[in-house]
Amino acid sequence: MRLFQNSSVYPAYLNRLRELTRNCTSFDTLAAAFLADRYGALHLLQPVLEGDPMAFFTNGDNEIMQRQWAKENDLPINATLETILLAQIEDHRTEVFYNLDPIRYGSKFVRKLPGCVRKSIAWRAAPSIHEDFTAYDLMVCNFPTILEKYKKQGLRTAEFSPAHDQVMNSYADNNNRPIDVLFVGGYSRHHQNRTKLLEAVAKMSKDINVVFHLDSSFFTRLAESKFGSLMPIGNYRRPILIQAIAAEPVFGLDLYDALSKAKIVINGAIDMAGPDRGNMRCFEAMGCGSLLLSDDGMYPPGMIPDINLKIWHTPSDAVSCINELLADDENRLALASAGHRMISESYSKQRQWQKFQQLIS
């Protein structure tokens, strides 16, 4: 099978990516540097991570990466990113196109795919009522409620999950965990439930080591600037307690490192997630050997409260749970170990790849 996997990167990751690829002079070295940093590795299929010559990977939104390929393959200097991606697919003679960025490359793009492509699959784990995915052969994610909404739109769907990155195992082995509570994720006024959790946990920072790596919205950054203080956008400003412990967002191996230093990783679904749980942070926290403390909801198979993770129902409940876990190292370590064991066995890259092959058969 000739597999083509397309992904994308968060804007906040671009500075790190530029540094990682500063000395790269070819498309292949740019792609290799990105893959080595393990950004989004839980979504990347086994042949991509193992460098299978039948598999091709790119970030279709990465101007530097894509224009380097265009230069090496004699495409016009003004070629669009869509034109470059289509040329890559044709040059690769792709049979299966797996796209992690269907918002950017939706049905209009799929209808332009060359004839060699016999199956097109897209991952999207968020409500997308106004997006057109009808040209895709299959929509996948690990959120049942989202899949049901896609079905009602007339789309073919299937359950498909992120998978454990084996590189995490060396991070999971770390026993020196100076961070008592860690949160890594986005922050904006649209994350109301998450904000209440962070405010409650931030108050604990006077007694324990709490670290928040926050990817804040543009308006939040503006509101907290000197210029923003003069503007009527105070509702975007984070509480002082959160600002005091907020650190820069982390990605790739920096994320693995941060998780490996944390005893407890707190997680809270964003408001639009509905009852579904099992976002990337769940897989990453467990994969790096931290104890996951997450909000109540419907979790993927194998993620079982009080067996390999803990659940909070209200922000005050989360605070109580944190105090109990930090006072009982034996229980906390047992839960964290069980979480890592489950995620590495039940959600291995081998199983993910086997499931993907079943989906396209």
Q: What is the mean pLDDT of residues 133-145?
A: 97
Last residue of a domain, one of 160, 181, 202: 160
Residue 258 structural domain: 168-346
Looking at every residue in the chain, the average pLDDT score rounds to: 93
Residue 212 domain-assigned? Answer: yes
Q: Stretch 84-98: mean pLDDT, rounded?
A: 98
CATH code of residue 330:
3.40.50.2000
| Separation between Cα atoms, residue 60 and residue 41, nearest integer Å | 16
At residue 273 the predicted structure's pLDDT band, cuts being 50, 70 and 90, is low
- Nearest C-alpha neighbor of 212 from the set 187, 238, 244, 247: 247
Distances, alpha carbon 223 to alpha carbons 198, 213, 220, 344, in Å: 19, 18, 5, 41
Same domain, 193 and 131: no
Distances (CA, A) of 23 to 65, 73, 226, 338: 13, 20, 36, 41
- The pLDDT score that the predictor gives to residue 221 is 60
pLDDT (average), residues 303-329: 97
Handedness of CA 103, 105, 111, 114 (dihedral sign): negative
Residues 206-251 have pLDDT tens digits of 999 999 999 876 656 665 666 666 566 666 677 788 888 999 999 9
The CATH number given to whatever domain includes residue 150 is 3.40.50
> Residue 188 falls within a domain, yes or no?
yes
Is residue 126 located within the same domain as residue 181?
A: no
What pLDDT is stored for residue 127 in this prediction?
84
Q: Do residues 194 and 321 share a domain?
A: yes
Tokens 């994350």 belong to: 191
Residue at 352 is within a domain: no
Please compute the mean of the pLDDT values over residues 258-284 and round it to a whole number.
90
Q: Is residue 99 part of a domain?
A: yes
Do 152 and 230 lie in a common domain? no
User: pLDDT confidence of 192, banded at 50, 70, 90?
Assistant: confident
- Split at pLDDT 50, 70, 90, the class of 193 is confident
On whether both 156 and 175 belong to a single domain, the answer is: no
Over range 173-188, report the average pLDDT: 93
Judgement on whether residues 172 and 149 belong to the same structural domain of the protein: no
Residues 6+ apart with CB under 8 A from 109: 82, 85, 86
Q: Does pLDDT of 92 surpass 70?
A: yes
Count of C-beta atoms within a 10 Å radius of residue 74: 7
Of 113, 135, 160, the residue that ends a domain is 160
Instruction: Give the 3-state secondary structure of residue 336.
Output: helix
Please say whether the beta carbons of 222 and 228 come within 8 A: yes
Torsion of CA 134, 1, 93, 89, to 10 degrees: 50
Q: What is the pLDDT of residue 186?
A: 83
Give the C-alpha distances (Å, rounded to integers) separating 69 from 2, 56, 87, 332: 19, 12, 10, 48
Of 106, 127, 160, the domain-final residue: 160
Span 70-97, average pLDDT:
98
Residue with tokens 């919205």: 217
Query: Count of CB atoms within 10 A of residue 132's CB?
Result: 13
Rounded to an integer, what distance in angstroms lies between the CA atom of residue 16 and that of residue 252?
A: 9
pLDDT at 215: 87
Q: Is residue 176 part of a domain?
A: yes
Are 227 and 134 contained in the same domain? no
What's the confidence (pLDDT) of residue 240? 82
- Alpha carbon 86 to its chain centroid, in Å, reads 25
Mean pLDDT, rounded, for 177-195:
84
Residue 155 domain flag: yes
Q: pLDDT tens for residues 23-42?
A: 999 999 999 999 999 999 99
Q: What is the count of structural domains for the chain?
A: 2
pLDDT, residue 187, reads 76
Distances (CA, A) of 127 to 11, 49, 50, 88, 239: 21, 29, 32, 29, 29
Same domain, 235 and 321: yes
What percent of the chain has a predicted confidence (pLDDT) above 70? 92
Residue 238: the pLDDT is 74
Q: Is the pLDDT score of 170 beyond 90?
A: yes
Using a CB cutoff of 8 Å and minimum separation of 24, what contacts does 322-325 make? 322/180, 322/181, 322/201, 322/204, 322/208, 322/264, 322/266, 322/293, 325/263, 325/264, 325/291, 325/293
β-pairing, 179-187 with 119-123? unpaired
Q: How confident is the model at residue 223, as a pLDDT?
A: 58
Residues 125 and 199 in one domain: no
Q: How far apart are CA 231 and CA 227, in angstroms?
A: 7
> Is residue 354 in some structural domain?
no
- On whether both 136 and 178 belong to a single domain, the answer is no
> Confidence class of residue 50 from pLDDT cuts 50, 70 and 90?
very high
Q: Check whether residue 139 and residue 218 sit in a common domain.
A: no
Q: Is residue 356 part of a domain?
A: no
Looking at the structure, tell me whether residues 155 and 267 fall in a common domain: no
